[in-house]
Amino acid sequence: MTRLIPVRETILGGAILVLLLLISSRFADFVAPSNLANVFNDTAPLIILALGQMVVILTRCIDLSVAANLALTGMAVAMINVAMPGLPIPVIIAIAVLLGAIMGAINGVLVWKLAIPPIVVTLGTMTIFRGIIFLISDGKWVNSHEMSPAFTDFPRMVLLGLPVLSWAAIITIVLFGIMMARTQFGRSIFAVGGNPHAAVYTGIDVGKTQFWAFVVSGALAGLTGYLWVSRFAVAYVDIAGGFELEVVAACVIGGISIAGGIGSVGGAVLGAIFLGVVKNALPVVNISPFWQLAISGSAILIAVAFNARAGRNKGRIILKEAEATQ
Amino acid sequence: MSVLKKLAASAAMATAMVATPAFAEDDVRIAIVVKALGIGFFEAAAEGAEEAAAELGDVEIIYTGPTDTTAEGQIEVINALIAQQVDAIAISANDTDALVPALQRAMDRGITVISWDSGVAPEGRQLHLNPSSNPLIGNMIIKLAADHLPDGGEVALLSATTTSTNQNIWIEEMMGVMGDYPGIDVVATVYGDDLADKSYREATGLMQSYPDLDAIIAPTSVGIVAAAQAVVDAGKVGEVNVTGLGLPSEMAGAIESGASQSFAIWNPIDLGYSATMLAYELSQNGVEATAGAEIPMGRMGSLTLDENSEGAMADPFVYDASNIDQFKSIF
């Protein structure tokens, strides 16, 4: 029975509903369908990045360079757009995904071949990527009037009632759902994170799986880079500063174990949506800005504490109890 | 090699000076030294200096600076100017302290030295010209909003972080002059942390919380751009006017879309003009740069010096649809 209803996701979904009710008691318009669509649209970049991060965290790694990767790719495609305004948007998106994937591959190779701890690798590349943005841009901004209208309009284009930005998140969710549940790569990610030694015996190359996880995360960061820059119609060195922590927080709230191996697509998405609702609600519920950070932080801590409790009665602990009785 | 080249150039220049007709020898030579050549902001300042020179009549402007923004480069330039025996140096410094010895040497040789835009420590110059002052900025940001609201209305502030010193001072100064703008209500102050996404979200939140909002004032360059984009995306162009402090190059799109009627920042042309006027007054008319002195600067009025021999030029300059095209390529 518990296998059929994923408990963690249900609880998180319930928490989001309670949150929405609380917000609507202070600001009724927040739960209007059109506003909820806006909130989802605003959360789309976080959802896409959280899914990439989820894959990395599942393999017992962490990618702190996603926001810097996003910023560098965003700046690069913005500058390409300024230099060649006629370049079609699909080409721009392909460049963004490719650039992001290359940056992810750099992380992956360092983790795989040099066996440097992922947190160290990505802390380093995070700073390097930010530095490169400064080098290529000279510290200057790329502004809305310099970008071509097609470049900035694409994520706002409405298809079947939702902007392209939202569709990008929905498509990513569907693809990841299939990938994690139905493909060899998806299953090997869980295997590598759950028990690397056992994974080796089943013929899975742990390092290589981690490498591909970083490539996936990087490619999604690259895609988000384009979406971000075109949505806010500005590119500069510090865009999405500190966003990597929000991405990790979304994963953690979504019940993805930092120790690897445990987590789901639904969890990551709900974690991102939870944070998105909080971030979008705080400006309208009329709470002092001095309290907003504290409230965001508390929400994360409560969610994590909840997850930690929910995750306690698991199979592994039963094994430990069995050990103790021997 | 570059020193040799500069010496050769100065020698050539000196020869040229001797060779020019007698009346040119009497020209007052004012050097405008900038952080680096090839920066639009400073090219515009040089334009202002030329304007002042034309007004004064007997002034020759030497617009110069290093090729990169280093203090060493500026010291070489200053030494070359001392060798040329210019009458005055007006400098926008790459370093507050590193230039002091070189500039003191210049003053010892009777050259008038002032700093503008980016200052030099008091012992290295006679006066410093600030583009504006906190009270002037505080008044300007509310005036920008009020000018487009003749019947009064609701305005909200979108600042940087809760702890940003500059923005907090400007907002405090603004609140102090609210009595001069009857009918204008400041309904909220929110903080975008100088992040494009948070500023965008806060601006969207403002428009939802206050459906009758007439203007968003953002005294920060990230916030004003993000707020303008939020207004465009919310379809509220014409209803909500975004204003505050921003750079013309960054705000050109917002002016074009109509999300922003006008915004303000210093005008480099006026700055170069005023610096030249001040240098001329000190060098030729025997004006002393002492605390409390009022020094005339042509069409820009006069500069009042404080105890640090610093003064504020004027209100920030207002940019709108009429002049944005001229300035967006400058800075």
CATH of the domain at B259: 3.40.50.2300
Q: Is the pLDDT of residue A73 over 60?
A: yes
Please judge whether A143 and B249 are an interchain contact, meaning their C-beta atoms are less than 8 angstroms apart: yes
Torsion of CA A265, A269, A275, A276, to 10 degrees: 160
Asked if the structure places residue B322 within a domain, the reply is no
Question: According to the model, what pLDDT value does residue A4 have?
Answer: 52
CB proximity A326 to B under 8 Å = no
- Specify whether B188 is located in the same domain as B90: no
CB proximity B171 to A under 8 Å = no
- Specify whether B301 is located in the same domain as B247: no
Helix A206-232 and helix B196-209, axial crossing angle in degrees, nearest 10: 50
- Cα distance from N-terminal residue to C-terminal residue, chain B: 33
Residues of chain A neighbouring B189 (CB-CB closer than 8 A): 289
A108, A52 contact by CB (below 8 A): no
CB proximity B209 to A under 8 Å = yes
Asked if the structure places residue B186 within a domain, the reply is yes
- Specify whether B98 is located in the same domain as B183: no
C-alpha to C-alpha distance for B8 and A323, rounded to whole angstroms: 88
Question: According to the model, what pLDDT value does residue B68 have?
Answer: 79
Question: According to the model, what pLDDT value does residue A317 have?
Answer: 47
Q: What is the DSSP string of A118-176?
A: HHHHHHHHHHHHHHHHHHHHTTPPBPTTTS-HHHHHGGG-EETTEEHHHHHHHHHHHHH
| Pairing mode of beta strands B28-33, B59-64 | parallel
Question: According to the model, what pLDDT value does residue A309 have?
Answer: 66
Q: Choose among A204, A175, A201, A177: nearest CA to A189.
A: A204
Mean pLDDT in residue range A74-98: 94
CB proximity A239 to B under 8 Å = yes
- Specify whether B249 is located in the same domain as B279: no
CB proximity A24 to B under 8 Å = no
Please judge whether A145 and B256 are an interchain contact, meaning their C-beta atoms are less than 8 angstroms apart: yes
Question: According to the model, what pLDDT value does residue B111 have?
Answer: 93
Residues of chain B neighbouring A232 (CB-CB closer than 8 A): 196-197, 200, 226, 229
- Specify whether B119 is located in the same domain as B194: no
Number of structural domains (chain B) is: 2
Asked if the structure places residue B177 within a domain, the reply is yes
Residues of chain A neighbouring B156 (CB-CB closer than 8 A): none
Taking CA–CA distances from B163, the nearest residue in chain A reads A290
- Specify whether B117 is located in the same domain as B162: no
Of A232, A236, A277, which to mutate for an interface test with B (greatest number of B Cβ within 10 Å)? A232
**Could you say which of A234, A238, A284 has the minimum Cβ distance to residue B225?**
A234
pLDDT tens-digit readout, A169-180: 999 999 999 999
Asked if the structure places residue B325 within a domain, the reply is no
C-alpha to C-alpha distance for A37 and B194, rounded to whole angstroms: 25
C-alpha to C-alpha distance for A180 and B325, rounded to whole angstroms: 52
Residues of chain B neighbouring A239 (CB-CB closer than 8 A): 195-197
Better pLDDT: A309 or B231: B231
- Specify whether B126 is located in the same domain as B28: yes
Lowest mean pLDDT among A48-62, A226-240, B22-36, B117-131: B22-36
CB proximity B202 to A under 8 Å = yes
**Could you say which of A27, A240, A290 has the minimum Cβ distance to residue B197?**
A240
- Specify whether B14 is located in the same domain as B110: yes
CB proximity A153 to B under 8 Å = no
CB proximity A27 to B under 8 Å = yes
The count of CB pairs under 8 A between chains A and B is 72
Asked if the structure places residue B123 within a domain, the reply is yes
Q: Which residues 143-162 of chain B have a CB within 8 Å of chain A?
A: 162
- Specify whether B177 is located in the same domain as B225: yes
Exposure of A240 in the CB half-sphere (CA atoms within 13 A): 35
**Could you say which of B191, B226, B328 has the minimum Cβ distance to residue A232?**
B226
Asked if the structure places residue B62 within a domain, the reply is yes
pTM for the structure as a whole: 0.79
Taking CA–CA distances from A32, the nearest residue in chain B reads B208
Nearest-neighbour CA in chain B from A143: distance (Å): 5
Of A138, A144, A224, A287, which to mutate for an interface test with B (greatest number of B Cβ within 10 Å)? A144
Burial (CB count within 10 angstroms: exposed 0-12, middle 13-18, buried 19+), residue B263: buried
- Specify whether B273 is located in the same domain as B126: yes
Quick one: how many helices (H) and strands (E) in chain A?
A: 14, 2
CB proximity A42 to B under 8 Å = yes
Taking CA–CA distances from A286, the nearest residue in chain B reads B209
A13, A270 contact by CB (below 8 A): yes
Sequential pLDDT tens for chain B (331 residues): 455 555 555 555 554 444 444 444 578 999 999 988 877 788 889 999 999 999 998 899 999 998 877 889 999 999 999 999 999 999 998 888 899 999 999 999 999 999 998 888 999 999 999 888 888 999 999 999 999 998 889 999 999 888 888 888 899 999 999 989 988 999 999 998 888 889 999 999 999 889 999 999 999 888 999 999 999 999 999 999 999 998 898 899 899 999 999 999 888 899 999 999 999 999 888 888 888 888 988 888 888 888 888 888 888 889 999 988 888 887 7
Residues of chain B neighbouring A290 (CB-CB closer than 8 A): 162
- Specify whether B22 is located in the same domain as B139: no
Of A30, A36, A40, A145, which to mutate for an interface test with B (greatest number of B Cβ within 10 Å)? A145
C-alpha to C-alpha distance for A92 and B103, rounded to whole angstroms: 51
Which domain range does residue B101 map to? Answer: 2-131+268-314
Question: According to the model, what pLDDT value does residue A237 have?
Answer: 86
- Specify whether B150 is located in the same domain as B232: yes
Nearest-neighbour CA in chain A from B228: distance (Å): 10
Q: Which residues 56-85 of chain A have a CB within 8 Å of chain B?
A: none
